[in-house]
A and B are shown apart, each in its own frame.
Chain A
Amino acid sequence: MTGENKGNWWIWKVFWILLGLTTFEVLLGIFKPDFLNNTIFLGTKLLNHVFIVLTLIKAGYIVMVFMHLGFERKQLQWTILLPPFILVPYLLFILFSEGAYAYLMM
């Protein structure tokens, strides 16, 4: 179990990671480097892919460390993670295919 005899440094470590990533995202959002902003990859700007990857990293830290899921049993981890892992990509699939169709049909 974390936190019982370990002090608080691991909490602040995650805090600095989250703050650093958020600051980086905001700077990218304000300055929009040409390379990232003009390169199109998989139908959208490379910049957006960077935002999404950074967001998923932040989400991972929040869920695994702050919400303590990383220290629970494997079975509990999968029970919690599998439904979103299956259903959210399905939602995204619907979004991309139907959104493109709806746009073309306008």
Chain B
Amino acid sequence: MSDTATYGQAWKGGDKPYVASYGKLMMWFFLITDTLTFSAFLAAYGFSRFKFQDVWPKAEEVFTHFPFMHGDHPLLFVALMTFILIMSSVTMVLAVNYGHKMQKEKVILWLSLTIVGGAMFLGSQAWEWAHFIHGLDGVHATLVSNPYGHPLFADYFFFITGFHGFHVFSGVIILIIILINVIKGTYERRGHYEMVEKVGLYWHFVDLVWVFVFTFFYLV
């Protein structure tokens, strides 16, 4: 892409001041709006927690279960979920990287592993939700009440991790569509794998959001 070919024809279109394609720019702009949405959710969560700090449950006392293990294991399961998501981010970068090199077979391999990672994360989240809803001593967690503490705690948990989980779910669907196109050779014919790059941006963003949810929901 040369800068000079279309220089001086700003009013005729074709200039690329950012040296990035239309599709990538639009993905970035979407991600900025999504950043602000998630920031607002987490800020609202922080506000409520600040206000009800005397009765707010401690996350490490709520999320202590781990599959096939007894006893208290605070943070362990969510650490595993974080690991799964980071891992799927790595496989995504590898897919993008092999896309640059036009190596179709390797793109298929790493994109498939990314989808597996996303599905594993969704499964883990379903497990986490099931345990959270199951509650304590026969009292279930709902939107109006929960056995852990203030009702808003469960509301924010459902809303924020649910919204993030829906992003992961959409990401998996989009990744599957892109994978089908890769297998069919659509991008091979097009001469570039930019579509993989664009879905990669979205996928890393989902990982990025989780890094913050992990910190503010489970650690702080």
Give me the interface of A with B, judged by CB distance under 8 Å: 1, 3-4, 8, 11-12, 14-15, 18-19, 22-23, 25-26, 29-30, 44, 48, 51-52, 55, 58-59, 62-63, 66-68, 72-73, 75-76, 79-80, 83-84, 87-88, 91-92, 94-96, 98-100, 102-103, 106
- Docked CA distance A1–B212 (Å): 28
In chain B between 185 and 214, which residues have their CB closer than 8 angstroms to a CB of chain A?
197, 200-201, 204-205, 207-208, 211-212, 214
Other than the given A102-B47, A103-B50, A106-B51, 18 more pairs (CB < 8 A) read A3-B100, A11-B97, A15-B86, A22-B86, A51-B219, A55-B211, A59-B212, A62-B211, A66-B92, A66-B93, A68-B201, A73-B18, A76-B18, A76-B28, A91-B39, A99-B47, A99-B51, A100-B50
Q: Which 4 A/B pairs are nearest by Cβ-Cβ distance?
A: A99-B50, A76-B18, A102-B51, A55-B215
Judged by a CB distance under 8 angstroms, whether B43 is at the interface is yes
- Docked CA distance A73–B16 (Å): 11
Residues of B within 8 Å of A96, CB to CB, are 50
- Mask, B165-185, CB within 8 Å of A = 1, is 000000000000000000000
Judged by a CB distance under 8 angstroms, whether B15 is at the interface is no
| B36 lies within 8 A of A84 (CB) | yes
Q: In angstroms, how far is the closest chain A Cβ from the Cβ of B206?
A: 10
